[in-house]
């Protein structure tokens, strides 16, 4: 049962990767000196998604689904939509500004998710630390890419 709940929490985070997008677009842009190589994301994001799914699994197993506060579920949904929307707006629409907005939304909603998770299960919050840090980095990187490519 635990494994099934984990799988149901883990795989939706890869939804946006199912669509063909022009990932080479990233290399065509002016990038800041601190921009990691493309393969960095293919390594780090699955690890972060694993941690998010594990955090969610702890919450879903601790509470029955009906007893999970709606504020947690709404925050999780909003964060998920911002996170998944990034690939579509940045790589699909080739729009660095909307990519920045999506990153900012992911980071801010990630902070709210962190707070909601803390109220339900403090140990699960620690699993979200890499996500909050990576989304902060992605927001700074995205803003920098936007600025470099509009000047």
pLDDT for the residue numbered 143 = 98
pLDDT tens by residue, 24-79: 888 899 999 999 998 898 899 999 999 999 999 999 999 887 899 999 999 999 99
> Model's pTM, two decimal places?
0.91
d(CA 144, CA 139): 9
| Domain boundaries, given as residue ranges, for the chain | 2-7+37-148
- Answer for the pair 106, 78: CB distance below 8 angstroms, yes or no: no
- Answer for the pair 16, 92: CB distance below 8 angstroms, yes or no: no
Average pLDDT, the chain: 93
């Amino acid at each position: 049962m635990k494994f099934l709940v984990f799988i149901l929490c883990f795989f939706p985070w890869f939804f946006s990767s199912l669509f063909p997008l022009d990932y080479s677009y990233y290399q065509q842009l002016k990038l800041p000196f601190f921009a990691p190589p493309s393969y960095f994301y293919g390594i780090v994001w699955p690890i972060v998604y694993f941690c998010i799914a594990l955090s969610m699994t702890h919450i879903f197993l601790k509470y029955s689904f009906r007893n999970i506060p709606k504020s947690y579920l709404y925050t999780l949904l909003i964060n998920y939509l911002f996170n998944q929307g990034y690939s579509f707006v940045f790589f699909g629409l080739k729009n660095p500004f909307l990519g920045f907005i999506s990153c900012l939304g992911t980071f801010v909603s990630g902070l709210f998710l962190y707070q909601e998770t803390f109220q339900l299960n403090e140990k699960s919050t620690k699993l979200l630390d890499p996500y909050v840090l990576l989304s902060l980095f992605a927001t700074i990187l995205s803003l920098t890419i936007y600025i470099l490519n509009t000047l």
